[in-house]
Amino acid sequence: MNGLDIKIKNTFSEESVLKTSDNYGVFSGYNLPSFIKDWLIAKYTDQAGNVYRNDILDFLEKYIPKKHEDIKGELLVKNDEIKLLTRLLVEPDVKTGNLKFSIPDIGIKSNDGIIAPNIAKEFPELRGGESWGIITLRYVPQMGKEKGFIELSGYTPFKPYDVDIEYFKTIRKEYNISDWIDLLIRSMEYNPDYDDNEFGFTNLTKKLLFLSRLLVFVEPNLNLIELAPKGTGKSYIFGNLSKTGWMISGGTITRAKMFYDANRGTEGLVGRYDYIAIDEIQTIKFSDEMEIAGAMKSYLEQGTFTVANYKGTGQTGFILLGNIPLNENKKPTSKTYFENLPKVFKESALLDRFHGFIKGWNLPRVTEDIKVKGYALNVEYFSEIMHTLRTSGEYSVIVDDLLDIPNGADTRDVKAIKKICTGYLKLLFPHVKSSKDVDLTDFENYCLQPALEKRKIIKEQIHLIDSEFKPEIPNITLKNY
């Protein structure tokens, strides 16, 4: 172990986990997100750091369903209860008055499953949307013309940590900025010491760029675009680090799925998740581009949307993820970065509502060497911390106190820069309580300058599409204290 390993182990003794390929090889054959893997490793590791792999294997065999298993057949034939740790999707059915559920990973469809009324009353998270938990299933046969169904008769939410955010903030004070950034990168399951002399983490600037992927995890209603070559880990981060995010990969997006289904009377993805990552954006299709564009404009601007007679609100942020062709110098082949985006996202007025741009081509490709080796925060704990930070309003107040906004500054530019600054402040300096606690040089280097750069790219790209938009951003600086 190096010095950072020892520090993480000592300061986050209950919340850290040792990540090695040997420990995680036990999950071969199971397609599990990182927050489940880390929880199991922590559950079956003693204080000396010994991992009891046989106990993990026993748990996996007992509670984690495999793709090839016919759970429905087991329930029908054996007429016995089955207990699983799994992801389920809940869909309220207004016509029947039932809360239907599906488990896509094992082939249980929403028409197959109904949540027992007493369970739904006890657990609010089972009234719509996605959740993870240890569930008990049983088959309920019906007489006459009625069909049988699978009932969810028992439920324990998968929330192993009650996050003490003040404890987390206190521990942050024991780290310098360099070690803290390395801890965050490790907790994203990457090795901050990786250096291939070209695209590795050769300096703090590149590490900070990598951490910008976490901004939508901690700051509500923040909207970003990242374009990068294939193999830079975009999909992995947004699909594995949090159970409160949602990733769309390909297919067709409808307004009903995204915002509100008027026919079913059910909310869409917006409002149910911390962020929505739209992966492979260049392949996405839209059922009605004008309809989606209108709804997106309203939501990205104000956090509200209207469908039929329903008006909804949400704090869900968006991040668009796409590939971009590069030349032999590893730079974009075109100065117009957005030319491969779907038509709906090429409109200047819609693009202006995205707050910042991440240059993903400056980030390292995923190789075996870049995988984390050593102590890091347990992903489940880390994701809960980020989720909790979203509702901490004191950070935006601090940013307001620190920034000097020039007269006549564009409102969208100011909003974008403030939101990105606030996200960085939450990630890097969560321990500050007021503007007096902030080191102004650190804030300038690690919050303000990255925010200005990300917003400036958006404005420059919009200008290339629509010359009516000026490429400049306001000269926002720190106030003189």
Q: What tens-digit pLDDT sequence spans the chain (481 residues)?
A: 789 999 999 999 888 888 877 777 888 878 788 888 888 888 888 877 788 889 999 999 888 877 656 888 888 887 788 999 888 888 888 788 889 999 888 888 888 899 999 998 888 888 877 888 889 999 998 776 668 899 999 998 887 767 899 999 999 999 999 999 999 999 999 999 887 656 667 778 889 999 999 999 999 999 999 999 888 888 889 988 888 899 998 788 899 889 988 887 778 889 889 999 999 898 888 888 888 888 999 999 999 998 888 899 999 999 999 999 899 888 999 999 998 888 888 899 999 999 999 999 998 888 888 888 889 999 889 999 999 999 999 999 999 999 999 999 999 999 999 999 999 999 999 999 999 999 999 999 999 999 999 999 999 999 999 999 999 999 999 998 6
Cα–Cα distance for residue pair 53/40, rounded to 1 Å? 10
- CATH number for the domain that contains residue 143: 2.40.50
DSSP letters, 75-114, are: HHHH---EEEEEEEEEEEETTTTEEEEEEGGGTEEEEEEE
Cα–Cα distance for residue pair 377/380, rounded to 1 Å? 8
Residue 318 backbone phi and psi in degrees, to 5: -115, 140
My answer on whether 406 and 284 are in the same domain is no
Number of C-beta neighbours around residue 17 at 10 A: 26
My answer on whether 251 and 346 are in the same domain is yes
Domain total for the chain?
Answer: 3
Cα–Cα distance for residue pair 66/70, rounded to 1 Å? 9
Q: Is residue 384 part of a domain?
A: no
Domain that holds residue 294: 190-370
My answer on whether 150 and 256 are in the same domain is no
Q: Give me the pLDDT at residue 69, please.
A: 64
Query: Are 126 and 89 a contacting pair, CB within 8 Å?
Result: no
Radius of gyration of the chain (CA): 23
Q: Are strands 108-115 and 149-157 parallel, antiparallel or unpaired?
A: parallel
Its pTM stands at 0.86
My answer on whether 366 and 398 are in the same domain is no
My answer on whether 404 and 468 are in the same domain is yes
Q: Are strands 356-359 and 304-307 parallel, antiparallel or unpaired?
A: unpaired
Structure tokens at 174: 């024991």
Q: Give me the pLDDT at residue 114, please.
A: 93
My answer on whether 241 and 283 are in the same domain is yes
Structure tokens at 188: 């994203």
My answer on whether 237 and 358 are in the same domain is yes
Give long-range contacts, CB 8 A cutoff, 24+ apart: 81-84.
81/136, 81/137, 81/138, 81/153, 81/154, 82/136, 82/137, 82/138, 83/134, 83/135, 83/136, 83/137, 83/154, 84/134, 84/135, 84/137
